[in-house]
């Protein structure tokens, strides 16, 4: 499972956790403006916005999990198993395969407003990348510095939801996730007052009791509520270091530790990586389960006018700074 969020200080930040029991071999991948995307049903896209993000590169094709483009638009696909439904190819529509959706949006759109217009004629189709890499059941968060939306392709059609929470996890569908936040409207970062009884002298005996009842388990609905609360109450300075640090703390509130989510005997879902993209500067920050040191790749240090992928391996191995 996974969690994605947005955050804004002086700059706009976008990122996610990727929680799974194994990695496909991920790389920080920059797609320059003149790399040719060969789409299965709509031809080629040979000139587009540059993109940076985490991807599995198969046959020189970047299968992006998440990323931002040079204009500051971010997008991430998260598991939506049992609810995602893709269509057959339909004449007269923009037939986009599920694995093509991120490069199609980030390659062509500078803002969420432009994304909404592009989505008007989309048909998300069930064409797999290959026999070895079938369609993943996903839904998506798309965001810029001004707004965010969630896109869900379901049996009853394509849903485009406003996302004022700036958060996405997994099941249930997004409108239900938002409705369930009503269960937590009484929570606060402040200490509680006694509304239980005017006959009893009740006192808060610990700090943090204003948020008593905030979920702490690893289910997708609980992670949605927890990150929405933490994000909404986050306070940080607006320097790059302060903002990036705070963003990792926000998503760190739902880190998955090995041993806590068993998917089958002896196999556990963990937070493989956490990303934080500065949409204004084009920098992709990340940490991994085995390396909590924040690493970064700046897309603007590369030739964005090129036509070949730029790939950086994910840095692993914990970095411990000994002080004596």
Strand order in the sheet with 2-8: 167-168, 2-8, 12-20, 270-278, 283-288, 291-298
Q: Is residue 56 part of a domain?
A: yes
Q: Which two tokens stand for residue 288?
A: 């991994």
Task: Give the model's confidence band at 131: pLDDT under 50 very low, under 70 low, under 90 confident, else very high.
Answer: confident
322 inside domain: no
pLDDT of residue 1: 82
Q: Is residue 180 part of a domain?
A: no
Mean pLDDT, residues 218-230 taken together: 97
* CA distances for 110 relative to 136, 236, 257, angstroms: 25, 27, 36
Mean pLDDT of 51-57: 97
* Average confidence (pLDDT) over 22-50: 95
pLDDT tens track for 288-298: 999 999 999 99
User: What are the distances in angstroms from CA 131 to CA 26, 42, 83, 320?
Assistant: 19, 21, 22, 42
Segments forming the whole domain that contains residue 106: 2-173+239-313
Considering the candidates 2, 109, 276, 277, report the single residue annotated as catalytic.
2
The answer to whether residue 221 is domain-embedded is no
The CATH number of whichever domain residue 92 belongs to comes to 3.60.60.10
**What's the pLDDT at 163?**
98
CA proximity to 75, closest of 95, 94, 49: 49
Residue 228 lies in a domain: no
Whether residue 199 is contained in a domain is answered as: no
Confirm whether 2 is a catalytic residue. Answer: yes
CA 86, 92, 97 angle in degrees (round to 5)? 30
Cα dihedral across residues 179, 183, 188, 194: positive or negative: positive
Residues 42, 57: Cα–Cα separation, whole Å: 21
pLDDT value for 24: 87
CA atoms within 13 A on the CB side of 163: 32
Q: Considering the domain boundaries, does residue 81 fall inside one?
A: yes
Q: Quickly tell me which residue has 């739902």 as its tokens.
A: 254
Q: For residue 172, give both structure tokens.
A: 């249930």
For the beta carbon of residue 184, count every other beta carbon within 10 angstroms: 15
Say how many domains are in the chain. Answer: 1
Please give the mean pLDDT across all residues of the chain: 96
Lowest mean pLDDT among 128-137, 140-149, 172-181, 241-250: 128-137
Dist CA 277 CA 58 (whole Å): 23
The string of pLDDT tens digits covering residues 10-21 is 999 999 999 999
Residue 194 lies in a domain: no
Long-range contacts of 256-264 (CB under 8 A, 24+ apart): 256/1, 256/17, 256/19, 256/218, 258/289, 260/218, 261/19, 261/218, 263/21
pLDDT per residue as tens digits for the range 134-169? 999 999 999 999 999 999 999 999 999 999 999 999
Whole-number Å distance between alpha carbons of 279 and 276: 9
Per-residue b or e along 152-174, where b marks 16 or more CB atoms closer than 10 Å to that residue's CB:
bbeeeeeebbebebbbbbbbbbb
**Which phi and psi (to 5°) does residue 240 adopt?**
-60, -45
């Amino acid at each position: 499972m996974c969690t994605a969020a947005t955050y804004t200080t002086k700059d706009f930040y976008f990122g996610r956790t990727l929680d799974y029991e194994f990695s496909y071999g991920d790389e920080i991948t920059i797609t320059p403006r003149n790399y040719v995307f060969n789409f299965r049903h709509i031809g080629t896209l040979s000139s587009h916005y540059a993109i940076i993000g985490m991807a599995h590169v198969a046959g020189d094709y970047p299968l992006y999990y998440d990323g931002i483009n040079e204009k500051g638009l971010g997008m991430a696909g998260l598991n939506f198993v049992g609810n995602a439904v893709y269509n057959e190819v339909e004449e007269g529509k923009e037939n986009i395969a599920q694995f093509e959706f991120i490069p199609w949006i980030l390659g062509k759109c500078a803002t969420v407003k432009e994304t909404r217009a592009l989505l008007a004629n989309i048909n998300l189709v069930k064409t797999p990348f290959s026999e070895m890499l079938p369609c993943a059941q996903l839904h998506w968060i798309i965001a810029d510095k001004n707004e965010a939306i969630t896109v869900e392709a379901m049996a009853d059609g394509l849903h485009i939801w406003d996302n004022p929470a700036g958060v996405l996890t997994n099941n249930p569908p997004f409108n239900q996730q938002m409705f369930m936040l009503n269960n937590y409207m009484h929570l606060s970062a402040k200490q509680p007052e006694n509304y239980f009884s005017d006959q009893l002298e009740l006192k808060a005996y610990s700090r943090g009791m204003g948020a008593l009842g905030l979920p702490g388990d690893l289910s997708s609905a609980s992670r949605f509520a927890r990150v929405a609360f933490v994000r909404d109450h986050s306070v940080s300075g607006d320097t790059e270091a302060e903002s990036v640090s705070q963003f990792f703390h926000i998503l760190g509130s739902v880190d998955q530790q090995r041993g806590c989510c068993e998917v089958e005997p002896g196999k556990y879902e963990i937070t493989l990586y956490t990303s934080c993209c500065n949409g204004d500067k084009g920098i992709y920050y990340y940490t991994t389960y085995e390396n909590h040191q924040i690493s970064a790749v700046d897309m603007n240090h590369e030739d964005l006018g090129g036509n070949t992928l730029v790939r950086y391996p994910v840095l692993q191995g914990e970095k411990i700074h000994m002080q004596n």
